Amino acid sequence: MLAWRFPRKIGPRQSLAALTGARKGVRALPESIAGREFLGEAFNPSSAAFPAALPPEQARGGDRDALTALAQLVHEDLQACNQTIVQRMQSPVELIPRLAAHIVAAGGKRLRPLLTIACARLCGYPEKAENRGDGLRHVRLAAAVEFIHTATLLHDDVVDESKLRRGLASANAVFGNQASVLVGDFLFARAFELMVEDGSLTVLQILARAAATIAEGEVLQLMTQNDLTTSEQRYLNVISGKTAALFAAACEVGAVVAGESAEAQAALRRLGFNLGIAFQLTDDALDYVADQQRLGKTVGDDFREGKVTLPVLIAYAAGSAEERRFWQRTIAESDQREEDLARALGLMERHGAIAATLARARDYAAKAKAGLALFREGRLREALADAIDYAVNRSR
């Protein structure tokens, strides 16, 4: 097993590429970011070459085609969103943009801000909106959604002691836990600045409630860790909070800025919620069966951390007395051996736990797609439906 020995802090003249690039299986940052910016010179995020919502090498073919199509329909809005993210990352405190650049430049799906933008456009923003402002409200709120999401990733990696994020060394592995938590706080604050600048109390209420619900979901997950008595409903409460809440809010604010009816707002909120559940169910299945290089994080992390996810609950409930003793030792007691992950995968295969989890994800995806029925047919609605399918058919 690979031994991770990343420094807790980065020195004033250490290159991030030197810290991460030589590690097997860890992809270094693009040279434009990992070079001079980390050699003690002033860092200017606005000049950094941040990836678009879908990096070209990842957008060609494969299971990203659906997201590529949706992103192309709102390309200009996404570019404006990325520019907003880069601008709002800036701070005279050098470590803040450095650390933020590390996680933002690593890419990711940008699915949540993409949903905000696409839902606003689906509802006719800015043309139909009475309060259209400068026509970029949806762009700034999409950036706020991405900041909330990125802040939670920084905090999650500290809590989970994760070493990989999107194929790179995680921020906490490179910069240390303290810096990661504090920069996560900074990004939360930037998100709330954008919400307040929008001027809508409704938008502020939706996103503030989502931020609080995410924290509740993460705490609930901590409470269920190593607890095999966790019910499926309690597990669903965890993923409803930590994942689905932000998906729901991201979609709902798109309808709000467009001035859509309460019915349309509720429809998009339900769409986002069901999509978020489907997305997390798929994530929890992929943690056991995905290809690590494509997944961008270590396969089996949930098992090693004692997280009680649906594949574990299904395998445990269907298991024999001897199999249950295995789960008790490895999950409840955190007594794990090198061969245990392979045994866990075998038990999940025997009892169809992964297949059942993915089937449940498809059920929620179908509910999410049903939420589009209220809206006018067209390329954007079709692309959103395809993006929902992507969420449960992806391999990363």
The DSSP secondary structure of 178-228, one letter per residue, reads: HHHHHHHHHHHHHHHHHHHHH--HHHHHHHHHHHHHHHHHHHHHHHHTT-T
Q: Which domains does the chain have, with CATH numbers?
A: 60-388 (1.10.600.10)
Q: What is the full per-residue pLDDT of the chain (396 aa) written as tens digits?
A: 333 233 333 333 333 333 333 333 433 343 333 322 322 333 344 434 344 444 433 433 445 588 999 999 999 999 999 999 999 999 999 999 999 988 877 767 789 999 999 999 999 999 877 777 789 999 999 999 999 999 999 998 888 888 877 667 889 988 999 999 999 999 999 999 999 999 999 999 999 999 999 999 999 999 999 999 999 999 999 999 999 999 999 999 999 999 999 999 999 999 999 999 999 999 999 999 976 655 556 779 899 999 999 999 999 999 999 999 999 999 999 999 999 999 999 999 999 999 999 999 999 999 999 999 999 999 999 999 999 999 999 877
Cα gap 126→31, rounded to integer Å: 38
Contacts of 396 (CB under 8 A, 6+ apart): 63, 286, 290, 291, 294, 295, 296
User: How many whole angstroms from its chain centre is CA 311?
Assistant: 20
Cα gap 212→91, rounded to integer Å: 25
Lookup: tokens for 116 = 């905000």
